[in-house]
Amino acid sequence: MTGIKTFKHALMMGVAALVPQQALARTSAETREIRQLKREVEELKQQMRALTEAAAAAQSRAATPAPAAVIANAENVTKPVVTIANAAPVAAAAPVLAAAPAPVAAPHAPAAHGKVWYEKLMLRGYTQFRVNEILSGADTAPSGVSRLRSVQDAALSDKGNFSIRRARLVVQGDISSRVSLYMQGDLASSVSNQTSSEKREGFFQMRDAYADVYLDKHRTFKLRFGQSKVPVGWENMQSSSNRLALDRSDAIDSAVPGERDMGVVAYYTPARVQHIWDRLAKDGQKLFGNYGAFGLGLYNGQGVNRTESNNGLMKVAFVTWPVELGGAFKGQVIEFGGSLMQNKIQPEIRTGGVSAIAYNEKRVSLHAMLYPKPFGLQAEWTWGQTPAWDKSVSAMVNKGLDGGYVQAMYRLPHTAVGQIMPFARWQYYRGGWKGSVNSPFLETDELELGVEWQPMKEVEFTVTYSDTKRSEADERRSGQAHGQLVRAQVQWNY
C-alpha cells in the first residue's frame, strides 16, 4: 500500500510539473493567432478605406446612386464575427471583399432620372351642381307636341330641381418619356329602363381611356389609342370645365353626341404653336385642350360607349392654327380652323336595337376664336348630311343639316372679387340628332346671356338667362316650344 501511495504521489507531482509547460505553449500559440488576426483586420480596414475613397470619387464624377450601392454592399460583406475559436473564416473574408465593388441594384429602385411611373400619376377632376327654372313656356304639353327640353341637359323639365350635371374623376400621367395615359370617369351618369321608364342616376361610367405614344423626343407628334374625343369642332374638344356657356351648342355637338368614340388618332403640334398655347394657358384663357394643331383619326363611329354595329369606320381630319396679333391688338391671339368627317351610322330605333340600315354621314365645320383680352369672340358653323326622322314617310332618311353659334365675351381677370366674364351666345340648328332614338329632326333657336364668376381657382359660379325655341328630341312630337329659362351652376375643381 505504501508503494502504491508513493507512485500516485509521484504521478501527481509529474502532472503538476507538466501543466505550466502546456499552458505556456498554448498561450504562445494564441498570441501568434491574435497577431495574425490583427494584421488581417488592418488589411480589411485599408481595403474599406480604398473602397470608400473610390466611391466618393465616382459620386462626384457621375452623381449616380450606383457608388452608394457599392459601399452598402462592401459594408455588408465586411462584417465577420471575429472570435479566437473561429479565426480561419475571418481570413477567408478577404477574397470575398475583392468582388464587392460590383453594384447590386435594388429590385424596386426608381430610375436614376426621377420617380417611377406610378408615382407620377395625378388624380384630379371637377363637379358641376345645377338648378334649372322654366320661367315661362311649354314645360308641359299634350301628346304629340314639343315641350321645353334640351338634348344637352336632361334635368331641364317641369319636374327638374337640383341636379349634378357632371362629377368627373381623372387619372393621368407619364408612364415614360414617350408614353402617357389618361382615364376619366363620370359619377353622374344615368341608366334608363331600370323599372319601366324610370331612370337611375349616379352610375360611374367610362368617358376616356387612352394612351398617347410620342414618336419624337420633343413630343410634337403622337398617336392616341383608345376611347377619346373625336376632333370635330373646337367646342366639342374643349372640356366642359373650361367652357363658358353651360352647354355645348346643338349643331356642333350633333356630329358626335357625347364627343367620344373608340379609335386611333394622330396629332401633330409644331413647337411655335405649342408656345402660343402655353402662353395663353399661363394667362388663364379657356383653351380647348391640347389635341394638336393637326389631327387625322379613325373611329368605330357608333358613339360613346356604344357597341360597333358595322365594319365601316368614321374618318376625321382636323386643323386649328393660332396667330399672334400686333398693333392695336398686340398680345391677343386669334385662332382659325376646321374639320371634316365621313361616317356610317346605325341609330337606335324605338322597337329596340339599332337600324338595319347604315346611313351615310358627311360634315364640314369651320371655327374662329379671338381669345378675350379683354374682349373676345368665338364662332363655329357646320354643314352636311345625317340621318334624321322624316314625318312624311315615318322613317329615318338622310337629310341636310345646317347650324352653329356666335359668342361674345368680356374678361375681367383681376377684380376685387376674382375673375368675372359676362357673355352672350346665339345658336341655331336644323338637322338630325343621332344620339336619340330614331334620330329626331331638331330645330333650335336660342339667345343666351350669362356671367361667370370665379372668386378662386377652385370654385366657379355661372348664371344664365335664355330665350329659347326648341323642338323636342322625340320623333313622336312636333313643333317648337318657346320659353324663357334661368339656370345656375356651381363648379368646384379639384
245 within domain boundaries: yes
pTM over 0.85: no
Q: Share the mean pLDDT of the chain.
A: 85
- Name the 3-class secondary structure at 167: strand
Whether residue 94 sits in one domain with residue 11:
yes
Q: How many domains, the chain?
A: 2
Residue 432 is part of a domain; what is its CATH number?
2.40.160.10
- The reply to whether 51 falls in a domain is yes
Q: Which of the residue ranges 45-59, 182-196, 334-348 would you say has the lowest mean pLDDT? A: 45-59
Phi, psi of 276 (to 5 degrees): -65, -45
User: Cβ atoms within 10 A of the Cβ of 377, count?
Assistant: 14
| 124 shares its domain with 238 | yes
pLDDT at 113: 58
pLDDT in tens, 293-302: 999 999 999 9
Residue 96, pLDDT above cutoff 50? no
Query: What's the mean pLDDT in 161-173?
Result: 96
Q: Last residue of some domain: 98, 128, 152?
A: 98
pLDDT score at 90: 38
Higher pLDDT, 315 or 70: 315
In a domain, 88, yes or no: yes
pLDDT score recorded for residue 42: 78
Average of per-residue pLDDT across 462-466: 98
- Could you tell me the residue range of the domain that residue 71 belongs to? 2-98
Instruction: Verify that 213 and 287 share a domain, yes or no.
Output: yes
User: 19 and 160: one domain?
Assistant: no
Say which range, 34-43, 142-151, 374-383, has the weakest mean pLDDT: 34-43
Q: Are residues 204 and 351 in the same domain?
A: yes
Query: 95 or 177: whose pLDDT is higher?
Result: 177
Lowest mean pLDDT among 46-60, 447-461, 479-493: 46-60
389-417 pLDDT per residue, tens: 999 999 999 999 999 999 999 999 999 99
**Residue 345: what pLDDT?**
96
60 falls in which pLDDT band (50, 70, 90)? low
Give the pLDDT confidence score for residue 80 in this predicted structure. Answer: 40
Within a domain: 108: no
Q: Check pLDDT > 60 for residue 7.
A: no
* Residue 356, all three cell numbers: 338595319
Across the strands, what pairs with 408? Answer: 377, 424
Does 427 have pLDDT greater than 90? yes
Is the domain of 186 the same as that of 267?
Answer: yes
59: confidence class by pLDDT, cuts 50, 70, 90:
low
Does 189 lie in the same domain as 124?
yes
